[in-house]
Structure 1
């Protein structure tokens, strides 16, 4: 029965910390854009942009080679 005197305050402290962390996350705009991170796996713009840049550079090189 004496363990209850330890567990109840411990549970209250843990819940209090969780509530503080939740309000910090809301205040720091952690929940503003929930869809972006999910779509970032499907549509990786950084890799596609590198591919586009590489293709554009290849086209420029080919055009300069053709003009010679």
Structure 2
């Protein structure tokens, strides 16, 4: 029974922290756009990754051509 004297204040501190965090998140507009994150999983990131890979490949090909031109000149 003596454990209740410890557990009740600890639980009240946790509830107070949870309430404070909730009001902080509402104040800082954390709940402003709830639909965007839910629909982000529907779109593929493959297009972005593909364009980045293609850019890197083009850049490395240009560097190789420059090196070949320098050696042949």
| TM-score normalised by L of structure 1 | 0.64
Question: Which residue pairs with 1:41 in the alignment?
Answer: 41
Runs of 4+ in structure 1 deviating by more than 3 angstroms, as ranges, are none
Number of aligned positions between the proteins: 51
Per-residue Cα deviation, 1:12-49 (whole angstroms, up to 9, x for no partner):
0000000000001100100011000010111247836x
In structure 2, list runs of 5 or more residues that go unmatched. 55-73
Question: Which residue pairs with 2:8 in the alignment?
Answer: 8
Distance 1:21 1:38 in 2: 22
RMSD: 2.1
Question: Which residue pairs with 2:22 in the alignment?
Answer: 22
Distance 1:19 1:46 in 2: 40
